[in-house]
Amino acid sequence: MGSKKRNSNAVDEAEGLVDDTAAHNVVFSSPLKKKVKKNKRKDGEVSDGDADSVPDSVKPMERQKKRKAMDKERHHSALQEKESQPQQQPKLKTEEAQALVASSSGSGMPEFHIGVFKDLALADVSLRQQAAESLVIELREVQKAYESVEKDLDESGPKLEAEKDDGLNDCAPSLRYAVRRLIRGVSSSRECARQGFALGLTLIVDTIPNIKVDSLLKLIVDLLEVSSSMKGQEVRDCLLGRLFAYGALARSGRLVKEWNSDKNTPYIKEFTSLLISLAAKKRYLQEPAVSIILDMVDKLPADSFLSHILEAPGVHEWFEGANEVGNPDALLLALRVRQKVYVESEKFGKLLPYPFSSSKLFAAEHLSSLVNCLKESTFCQPRVHSVWPVLVNILLPDTVLQAEDAASVSTSLKKHKKSRKSSSSEEEIVKNFQSFCEIIIEGSLLLSSHDRKHLAFDVLLLLFPRLPASFVSIILSHKLVQCLMDILSTKDSWLYKAAQYFLKELIDWVRNDDIRRVSVIVALQKHSNGKFDAVTRTKTVKDLMSEFKTESGCMLFIQNLMNMFVDEGNASDEPSDQSQTTDDNSEIGSNGEKDLMGTMGTPDFLKSWVIESLPSILKHLKLDVEAKFRVQKEILKFLAVQGLFSASLGTEVTSFELQEKFRWPKAATSSALCRMCIEHIQILLANAQKVEGSHSLANGPEASDLGSYFMRFLSTLRNIPSVSLFRSLSDEDEKAFKKLQEMETKLSREERNCGLSTDAIKLHALRYLLIQLLLQVLLRPEEFSEAASELIMCCKKAFAVSDLLDSSGEDDLDGDVTPNLMDVLVDTLLSLLPQSSAPMRSSMEQVFKYFCEDVTDDGLMRMLRVIKKDLKPARHHNAESEDDDDEDLFGIEEEEEVDETETGETGESDDEQTDDSEAVGGVEEAGKELPEDSDDSDGGMDDDAMFRMDTYLAQIFKEKKNQAGSETAQSQLVLFKLRVLSFLEIYLHENPGKPQVLMVFTNLARALVNPNTVEGSEQLGQRIWGILQKKLFKAKEFPKNETVQLTTLASLLEKSLKWASKPFKRKKSAANPSKKKQSASLKRHKMINSLAQNSTFWILKIINTKNLTESELQRVHDIFQGVLVGYFDSKKSQIKSEFLKEIFRRRPSIGYRLFGFLLEKCRNAKSVFRRVESLDLVMEILKSLVPFSSGKGSLVTSTRNLKAHLQNLSLLIKELVTNMPEKQSRRAEVRKFCGKIFQMVSTLKLTKSFLKDLPDDADAACQSQLGEVYLNLKKVSQEK
């Protein structure tokens, strides 16, 4: 396009004139009598030099060049004449000073300083204004003096320019010179000279009436004429010069004065015609030329428009051709003139309808004819063309209801009867706005180039300040939202930043207005099929939804979402299932539904977004309890109506009991959406149960009990004849459904009677579990009826109230033996776990939390067997293995230890290599050991227990089969174990001091060390390890009951210590195991080692609370003595000395009893490394055995304790110095140890006794190995 190659400087200067004109600032209002006012135009003007610096290119014509040369000669001769007559002229200050020119030969004539032109071109606006003031004052005085003297006196004086036929005959020569120079100066392209010279021209034309308008117009054309020899910059300078000169004339107000003095003046027509002619020369001159005309229009009376402006030559033709060529400036002029005069005229051509009205202007046919004009307004980008604000003002007048939304407008129309005129006016505005958006925005700009798309966003931003919320659905149309999504989906898009800015302004516009926020969210999601954020990779909708702060805003949003769901026109292709019972669509995981929910382009995707969005409103909402409950009720009612029910007669049903009208979509809701509604009801109820707590139930279910409200609502709708469940229930499910309803009602009544007691809490938890189970019956037909019966029976047995027990006795169990209530409850909960939803599991955990105090050992073992269960076949053990079954309490063997050898030193005997499973484990129940011949995790299970376990696994396999995926039975089992672990964690949290905790610990530890139990699921292993750490090892409470037998604790302690001694091993068959497997194996070894150490500390803590006899204490010490034997004698023992030190630090009594034995084993150690390493153990015991406190009694005790072991210490030191290690580091450790012993001996004054007990052959060795340290000890002995 040719317009793309325009000169940027020329356009900027032209647009600067537009901005100045739009400001409508007249520089001088009364220049003859008042001080010149400061110019308030918005010009960041930077001016240029004086007229002498004007380049030659500004004077194109040869005659102008000759005239210039003549002017210079005469100017020079005038100056010489002045110098020859010094008595008539004042002396000049310097050659660089301002030129002083006499306007008359008389000695009393005023002076005119030529240097003022230089100041007109300064960059500082204030200095330019001062120069203009000075110019006007001087020229006015010169003109006055010129008029008062005889003409021949002036003719005999000096001349600045030769007389020319310029029409300025009544002006003084200096004034004529100034006018011509100012006209030439406005064509300068250097900096902002145009602004300065145009300002000067405006002022002198306004203040000096001797300057005739016709003469001025003629001079502008003559001095700034474009010749054929000019090119490029010269042409632009001349055209812009004329533009600024005409602007100066318009702002001077002379044309208005001319019209006031003569209503038939031809100058307004001529001036208008000249501007129209100028605008036709270049595209960038059109808008500023129209701006100048409009500036004049604002000053002229209205009755002058038709006879002067519209009748000017060329204007009619300009209007006529505007539609075809696309002339937005002609449209702007027509609209502004029409606004000014309010007259009907056909002279506007096709630009304006005749007769004119806003409805005709924005009629589809007329807007289509203006498309070319408006599309071409992109020329002035990034600035928005002046025609758009004018159109916006007409489109959305100030009388429009800006603060009202669609709902409030319709409500006000219903409540208050308005006049037909008012109603029709509002309807007309809506119709005009819709037509404008459809034809101009969507049908023209958005379908065109990038520039015009950008313009569309800019125009829409102009609409925002005036836009009512009810118009959002019109402005955010399908095409606009799709355009936004296309642009924002690609970051390197040319319009990406423009779309981003538009979205930011849109969000700012709705920031504190819930009505606008709702309208924007609904529009964005409706036209994007609920995936605006997903496609644009933004959080626009999510952030807008999180900003609801008021109940009214939430209610409005909920209502709009409901309407969006119900009024959705496009029906799903999936057939309705409201009358179906066991069709394919009713099956869980059907391919049709998966495709439906996985396809973002289907209509159901938008409905699914509505369902998901309703509960999410509550996530960030901070309201009081009552307001939040009201919001929850609205959401719950919608989800229940759309998910649980369908209307058999029409799509609307009125409930007289609830005094509400319920609606359904015309197309039957798909089974997938119904299930989604039910799932979100479950989530809503589960969240409400967590927040409510039992304290809120004292005032009855209506206070804030969402579950009670839901059951009442459900019962009410089921009693409406024309309303039925969305699916037909089988006989068993129907029976279970009714029983669950009845039991929930009874429990609710009983709960209210209990007040705030513990029973009320249990009842509340059971009620919510019943509600969740009722919803599960609807979700998964024929799967939960049996579990529902068992749970109802538990409810009856738990609260043996006559109202809860059926007289029929149909639920009574046959036989003489009645199972324990908690066993039945645990069994029921376990049977529900495999296929339960997350909200239902939450309710189950709440029930278990309040009932777990009464869980039996049998119930605990049922859960623990699930954790230990392994789907793999039992491992075949080697018949020649020395690992006896009586030692293998776990009945497991680590996988990585099959055919393994130690990574370090070789073993010394097979007897000492025990199975890894011996490490932890020992008891099944408190006070009873497990059968030692158990060889699998199902050991000890009777037939009933095995049957129940098989039932659980069958449910897992069924669940796996129903899931359309590649999950294996093993992964399903892992998931089941994780859910059971949550129960066990709750039990440990609620019952930390019970002896059954040891049973849980033993079995969890067994599961953790068994690779087949946690294999393939790092999450499961970490979960078990986390429970052991958090709920056992780091818990403040632990079992202290005397019923916990020492034999149990001793067995656990022994196995833990053995496990802590196990070395890290790798397979023989894996010559080069991968780094990943090696790393995983090492990580597992570290975790198990940590388990062994922590369990040792924990068991010792429990033992420490018991009142043990001497024989019982000796049994515990014997265990540690055996550990020390293995530590010193067996290379296979990898127990850490730091671990043993920590034991002695935490339990000093163990160290006291083992100190003599430790000294003996250290002295006789086979390994030098073990001997040196054990020195730290000796010192750790000595710290507590021989404390150095200031008390006298403490020193006596320390002396006695040390003296008892002095001989063994002497022998140990003798062994150390006579067999010094070869490694320097170990030798240093020996010297350090000996030094500490010598210091203790010296402090407690046992030096002589120590040296006496030291063997004679050790003296020389001590002197050679210990040197000064030993000699100092001997000196101390001799001194004493």
Pull the structure tokens for residue 545: 């939804």
The whole-number pLDDT of residue 754 equals 83
> Which uninterrupted H or E stretch holds 504?
helix 496-509
Residue 1066: its pLDDT value, please?
Answer: 64
Q: pLDDT band for 770, please (50, 70, 90 cuts).
A: very high
Chain segment 158-167, per-residue pLDDT in tens:
444 445 566 7
When pLDDT is cut at 50, 70 and 90, the band that residue 1280 belongs to is low
409-418 long-range contacts, CB within 8 A, separation 24+ = 409/468, 409/470
**Are the CB atoms for 539 and 504 separated by under 8 Å?**
no
pLDDT digits (tens, 9 = 90+) for 374-400: 999 998 888 999 999 999 999 998 755
Which is more confidently placed, 932 or 446? 446
Helices (H), 991-1017: 996-1009, 1011-1014
The 3-state secondary structure of 631-652 reads HHHHHHHHHHHHHHEEECCCCE
The amino acid that residue 195 corresponds to is Q
Per-residue pLDDT at 423 exceeds 70: no
CA dist 215 and 221 (Å) reads: 10
Identify the weakest region by mean pLDDT among 7-11, 458-462, 1016-1020: 7-11
pLDDT for the residue 418: 40
Q: How far is CA 885 from the centre of its chain?
A: 59
Cβ distance 669 to 728 under 8 Å? no
Per residue in 646-693, pLDDT (tens digit) is 988 878 888 888 888 999 998 888 999 999 999 999 999 999 988 765
Structure token digits, residue 248: 């100066």
Structure tokens at 520: 């924007």
3-state secondary structure of 937: coil
How would residue 979 be classed by pLDDT, with cut points 50, 70 and 90?
very high
Q: Is the pLDDT at 579 greater than 50, yes or no? A: no
Higher pLDDT, residue 86 or 524: 524
Read off the pLDDT of each residue in 1154-1168 and give the average, rounded to a whole number. Answer: 91
Instruction: Over range 551-577, report the average pLDDT.
Output: 74
> Is the model's pLDDT at 89 over the cut of 50?
no
Preceding amide of 382 cis, omega within 30: yes
158 neighbors 81 (Cβ within 8 angstroms):
yes
Instruction: Give residues with Cβ within 8 angstroms of 578, minimum separation 6.
Output: 646, 668, 669, 724, 726, 727
Q: Which two tokens stand for residue 586?
A: 């009713």
Helical ranges in 363-471 per DSSP H: 364-369, 371-375, 387-395, 406-415, 420-436, 450-463
Beta strands in 1033-1116 (DSSP E): 1065-1067
Please tell me whether residue 1182 adopts helix, strand or coil conformation: helix
At residue 440, the pLDDT reads 94
**pLDDT band at 67, cuts 50/70/90?**
low
Displacement of CA 466 from its chain's centroid (Å): 30
| Contact between 797 and 813 (Cβ < 8 Å) | no
Q: Which of 298, 276, 301, 299 shows the shortest CA–CA distance to 289?
A: 276
Best-predicted range by mean pLDDT (408-422, 867-881, 1070-1084)? 1070-1084
Confidence of residue 1150 (pLDDT cuts 50, 70, 90): very high
Q: Hey, what are 1025's tokens?
A: 């390890």
pLDDT of 75 over the 80 cut: no
What band does 66 get if pLDDT is binned at 50, 70 and 90?
low
Does residue 1219 register a pLDDT over 70? yes
Contacts (Cβ under 8 Å, ≥6 apart) of 1190: none
Beta carbons of 1128 and 1174 less than 8 angstroms apart: yes
Taking 50 as the threshold, does the pLDDT of residue 88 lie above it? no
**Mean pLDDT over the full length of the chain:** 78
Q: Is the pLDDT of residue 1125 over 60?
A: yes
Q: Are 1231 and 1178 in contact (CB under 8 A)?
A: no
Alpha-carbon span 356 to 1258, nearest angstrom: 127
From 267-276, 657-666, 876-885, 983-992, the region with the lowest mean pLDDT: 876-885
Quick: pLDDT tens for 186-200.
Answer: 888 777 788 889 999
Q: How many CB atoms lie within 10 A of CB 1257?
A: 9
Do 292 and 275 meet the contact criterion of CB atoms below 8 Å apart? Answer: yes
Query: 593 with 671: CB under 8 angstroms?
Result: yes
Q: How far apart are CA 784 and CA 830, in angstroms?
A: 13
What percentage of the chain has pLDDT greater than the value 70? 73
What three-state secondary structure class fits 662? Answer: strand
Crossing angle of helices 603-616 and 625-644, in 10° steps, is 150
Report DSSP state, residue 852.
G
pLDDT tens column, 1166-1184: 889 999 999 999 999 998 8
Higher pLDDT, 227 or 855: 855
Q: For residues 765 and 795, is the Cβ–Cβ distance under 8 A?
A: no
Mean pLDDT of 935-962: 50
Q: What is the pLDDT of residues 864-913, one digit of tens each?
A: 999 988 755 444 444 333 333 333 444 444 433 333 333 333 333 333 33
Looking at residue 1063, what is its pLDDT? 85
CA distance 1111 to 607: 75
- In angstroms, the first-to-last Cα distance of the chain is 115
Sign, Cα dihedral of 254, 303, 305, 395: positive
**pLDDT one-digit tens code per residue, 1131-1144:** 888 899 999 999 99
Mean pLDDT along residues 998-1020: 86
pLDDT mean over 234-255: 90
Rounded to an integer, what distance in angstroms lies between the CA atom of residue 714 and that of residue 724? Answer: 11
Is the model more confident about 457 or about 1257? 457
Helices (H), 719-757: 731-754
pLDDT reported for residue 165:
63
430 secondary structure, DSSP code: H
Q: Which of 1195, 1206, 1190, 1188 is nearest to 1246 (CA)?
A: 1206
**What is the rounded CA–CA span in Å between residue 370 and residue 249?**
32
Separation CA 1048–CA 1260 (nearest Å): 52
904: which DSSP letter?
S
* C-alpha span between 852 and 856 (Å, rounded): 9
Asked if 1173 and 1161 touch (Cβ cutoff 8 Å), the reply is: no
Model confidence at 487, pLDDT cuts 50, 70, 90, reads: very high
Residue 767 has pLDDT above 50, yes or no: yes
Q: Which helix (H) or strand (E) holds 155?
A: helix 151-156
pLDDT in tens, 825-851: 999 999 999 888 999 999 999 999 999
Total residues found in the chain within this entry: 1280
Query: Cα–Cα distance between 962 and 645 in angstroms, integer?
Result: 25
Amino acid making up residue 1254: L
